[in-house]
Amino acid sequence: EAGVVQSPRYKIIEKKQPVAFWCNPISGHNTLYWYLQNLGQGPELLIRYENEEAVDDSQLPKDRFSAERLKGVDSTLKIQPAELGDSAVYLCASSLNSGAYNEQFFGPGTRLTVL
Amino acid sequence: AQSVTQLDSQVPVFEEAPVELRCNYSSSVSVYLFWYVQYPNQGLQLLLKYLSGSTLVESINGFEAEFNKSQTSFHLRKPSVHISDTAEYFCAVYGRDDKIIFGKGTRLHILP
């Protein structure tokens, strides 16, 4: 069974440029998460989807970040425009449903460097 | 609010020696605790979890953790480490708002 797929694995852009990350969750998983992992820190939730609905986007900086999950499967996270402080690893995870009893499976992440 | 404190950012240990990675949590609701492992250039993987029942939980590769309610701790232990255990380990607690709150991580260095 394929795991969570993310692309690209690495991205280098100049500040003020836009960037997009793509995530394909495990087949059949209804819940999808985007996390931000800064260097030396644990992951922090940006947004959680239940199917195609964003049920928790309280930590998403909405002035420059946006996300979508069309048809409740793949998801895209966008930053426009990128800032130097956005350099980090962006992780996607999925689970069958939300709740502590449903294991979250993580993708390998996209490492973003903003110059 | 829930929070997790991992007291050590890095732990060096000789191969075949025992190791303990410390984790303390703060939670005002039912406690669900996790340890995740992140190998170099890979995503996080669930190592073990405490949801209910026995306070001692084990992983398939020899790690164990014990939920200690009185000390609000969930320390991770292994009696004999291998070079393949080199990774970063994250302790986490499940929050009341359906969020996993992660600690800052502990980098385990295995010395030959």
Q: Residues of B with CB below 8 A from A3's CB?
A: 43
Query: Which pLDDT band, with edges at 50, 70 and 90, does A1 fall under?
Result: low
B43, A91 contact by CB (below 8 A) = yes
Give backbone dihedrals phi and psi of A16, rounded to 5 degrees, phi first: 80, -5
Chain A hits for B60, Cβ within 8 Å: none
Q: Does A45 touch chain B (CB under 8 A)?
A: yes
The answer to whether A100 contacts B104, with C-beta atoms less than 8 Å apart, is: no
Distances (CA, A) of A114 to A40, A43, A83, B34: 18, 19, 7, 32
Q: Residue A11 forms beta bridges with which residues?
A: A112
26-55 in chain B: CB under 8 A from chain A: 32, 41-46, 49, 51
Q: What is the pLDDT of residue B27?
A: 79
For residue range A47-102, what is the model confidence (pLDDT) as tens digits?
A: 999 999 999 999 999 999 999 998 889 999 999 999 999 999 999 999 999 988 89
Closest residue by Cα to residue B110 from B76, B75, B86: B86
Over residues A5-27, the mean pLDDT reads: 97
Comparing alpha-carbon positions, the chain A residue that sits nearest to B92 is A42
pLDDT higher than 80, residue B29: no
Q: What is the pLDDT of residue B95?
A: 81
The token duo for A25 is: 């969750």
Provide the shortest C-alpha distance from residue A63 to chain B (in Å).
23
Instruction: Give the pLDDT score at B1.
Output: 75
Question: Per this entry, what is the length of chain B?
Answer: 112
Characterize the bridge pairing of strands A31-37 and A88-95. antiparallel
Range 59-78 of B in CB contact (< 8 A) with A: none
**Tens-digit pLDDT profile for residues B36-76:** 999 988 889 999 999 988 889 999 889 999 999 999 999 99
